[in-house]
Amino acid sequence: MTTTDDTTPEDRTTALTGHAGALAVAVARAHGVETMFTLSGAHVFPMYDGAVTADPPMRLLDVRHEQTAAFAAEATGKLTRVPGLAVLTAGPGVTNGVSAIAQAQFAGSPMVVVGGRAPANRWGSGSLQELDQPPIIAPVAKLARTLHTAGDVLPGLDAAFLAARSAHRGPAFVDIPMDELFNTASGPAPGAPVPARIEPDPDALTEVAELLSSAARPVLVLGTDVWADGAEQAALRFAEETGMPTITNGMGRGVLPAGHPLLVTKARGAAFNGSDLVVVVGTPLDFRLGYGVFGGKDGASPAQVVHLADSPGQVSGHADLAGSACGDLTWVLDGVLAAFQDLVRRPDWSGWLADLQDRVAAASARDAALLAAEADPIHPARIYGELVPRLAEDAVVIGDGGDFVSFAGKFVEPRRPGGWLDPGPYGCLGAGLGSAIAARVARPSAQVVLLLGDGAAGFSLMDVDTLVRHRLPVVMVVGNNSAWALEKGPMQMLYGYDVAADLAHRTSYDGVVRALGGAGETVTDPGGIGPALDRAFAADVPYLVNVITDVEAAYPRATFGI
Ligand SMILES: Cc1ncc(C[n+]2csc(CCOP(=O)(O)OP(=O)(O)O)c2C)c(N)n1
Ligand SMILES: [Mg+2]
């Protein structure tokens, strides 16, 4: 690729000339991309040539299944808040990435997928993998379009990155016909514009502050977009200055660190049932939050609900809202706080907070017994009893599974934001290895712990091969209950029997990892978990601790999300 400086004083633009793959890499780099996740296909070769000939080269991370490439891009977006980039070859490469793209759309994760596409000059003649892909992707992405010519790549991909990075964030997809991807074009260097911050309506902020000042038992909920929007400091400030009891979910976990006196996630039921005002920030009012209805049991009135969102389209359309505001979440939170502090009436919530704190303490005491359980077969909680004290402050913990991951949500309380990855509202099994690869790359010196149900493990474990080839050590822990437990329990409950819910007895998932060049061990005795984890953290290869757990120890679930 050549770069020319057009240095007339009036027009100091830099022009790029190169094949479309090189131009695409230049755009991605301008938007902060450092790694291209991919699985080979001739339709996208120029993307690789663009990566290896760039100065400096862009890192290529080649995986064993396109779902892993796409989940790695999604996790990169979540962890770094810079769009992750997946390059998927035409046809099946792209369709294998659809679940991860949908997951990114549901979770608001910034990512860009560049798809290969059958050549334009043969379109309609039946060339290999000739599939019109944007119509398949459009329902699950912010943007899905074909860049028809090499000349479209600079502006088209720049626009895709801008869409992915703009609130509400999400996936953007482009495909480029193979003949055009090999073609040369030139154009102005990508501007990589920074998305404009959305200004909230000041009147809406004042109304929310007024609702807050007349609340007796408020609760604050902080979700994924607080982190995605870079509002974690504003959110902590808001919680601490108002003194509101706070519950976190998704990537909002860790905004109030574990043990923070205002963090009442462990008293969630009592907080929501007893509250008269729930202020939900940066997360949809979906099944995870009772569809936005809090309390109202036994003839009591439900709590009033305020929804604060990162963009207009995210404000709930189905919930009965007492107030709402949208925009850049730092501005929203600081704006509500300033308006609240201007009000004469500053309510005293200390009694309400103290009551919830007592409940948190009681719940923690109850948990302590489970975390130390000596049961045989092993209770999954015991794994967290051993893992949590071994986690460093900057650990990245990834959950991929059913009940096993629900237990993680209950027992692993992050000490800082940006280190907890769960599947989010799309709930797609199989993100595990892709997320672990992304985490190891994004946080080279942090602990990376991947928690896998034995069922979930089957979706992506072959990509341990990728960890091995690219020398990416991570710690994997399988909660091996020989079942799809999160489905087995409900089916038993509904039918009194279950089918299609059992897995092979005590499969050696650590053996799979060893066969692929990593290491690991099976643990059947509760006392063996801690030492096995120590060996896993000390290993310099991917290491899987396969813990045989009790299938009867189901997660006590209040909702199945339907
Ligand atoms: C791609 C995908 N397929 C199926 C499901 C439905 N599902 C949700 S949880 C679950 C069971 C997971 O089993 P496992 O990973 O072993 O965890 P466990 O519940 O046994 O702890 C299934 C099948 C899903 N969420 N995603
Ligand atoms: Mg299982």
Burial class (CB in 10 A: 0-12, 13-18, 19+), 344: exposed
Query: Which are the contacts of 417, defined by CB distance < 8 A and separation ≥ 6?
Result: 226, 227, 232, 251, 252, 253, 254, 255
What is the Å distance from ligand 2's center to 516 Cα?
Answer: 22
Q: Are 316 and 307 in contact (CB under 8 A)?
A: yes
Question: CB under 6 Å to ligand 1: residues?
Answer: 401-404, 427-430, 453-456, 479, 481, 483-487
**Residue 291: both structure tokens together:** 């569809």
**Cα separation, 412 vs 176, whole angstroms:** 43
pLDDT at 1: 72
For the segment 266-293, what is each residue's pLDDT rounded down to a tens digit? Answer: 999 999 999 999 999 999 999 999 999 9
Q: What is the pLDDT of residue 510?
A: 98
- Beta strands 420-421 and 396-400 are parallel
Q: What is the pLDDT of residue 335?
A: 98
Rounded to the nearest 10 degrees, how much is the dihedral formed by the CA atoms of 144, 561, 438, 92? -40
The three-state secondary structure class of 85 is strand
Separation of alpha carbons 27 and 143, rounded Å: 17
pTM above 0.95, yes or no: yes
Q: Which atom of ligand 1 is nearest to the CA of 484?
A: 13
Q: Which ligand is nearest to the CA of 67?
A: 1
Q: Kindly give the pairing relationship between strand 184-188 and strand 14-19.
A: antiparallel
Nearest-CA residue for ligand 1 atom 4 is 429
178, two tokens: 């193979």
d(CA 289, CA 269): 11
Beta-carbon contacts of residue 541 (< 8 Å; ≥ 6 apart): 468, 473, 517, 518, 519
Diameter over CA atoms, the chain: 79
How close is the Cα of 284 to the center of ligand 2, in Å? 28
DSSP secondary structure, 502-527, as one string = B--TT--HHHHHHHTT-EEEEE-SGG
The token pair at 180 is 């055009």
Say how far apart CA 265 and CA 253 lie, in whole Å. 10
Structure-token match 């009442």, residue found: 264
pLDDT attached to residue 13:
66
| Top mutation candidate among 403, 460, 482 for ligand 1, by most atoms within 8 Å of CB | 403
pLDDT at site 346: 81
Find the ligand nearest to 429 CA. Answer: 1
- pLDDT tens-digit map of 53-72: 999 999 999 999 999 999 99
The closest-lying atom of ligand 1 relative to the alpha carbon of residue 486 is 19
Q: Which of 106, 411, 486 to mutate to test the pocket of ligand 1 (most atoms within 8 A of CB)?
A: 486
- The tokens describing 359, both together, are 């409940």
pLDDT beneath 70: ranges in the chain = 4-13, 559-562
Residue 6, pLDDT score: 55
Whole-number Å distance, alpha carbon 405 to ligand 1 midpoint, is: 10
pLDDT in tens, 211-243: 999 999 999 999 999 999 999 999 999 999 999
Helix residue ranges, H only, 303-453: 329-342, 350-371, 380-387, 403-411, 432-442
Across 52-148, the runs of DSSP E, i.e. the strands, are 59-62, 84-88, 111-117, 143-146
Distance 505 CA to ligand 2 centre (A): 11
The per-residue pLDDT for 559 is 67
Nearest-Å Rg of the Cα atoms of the chain is 25
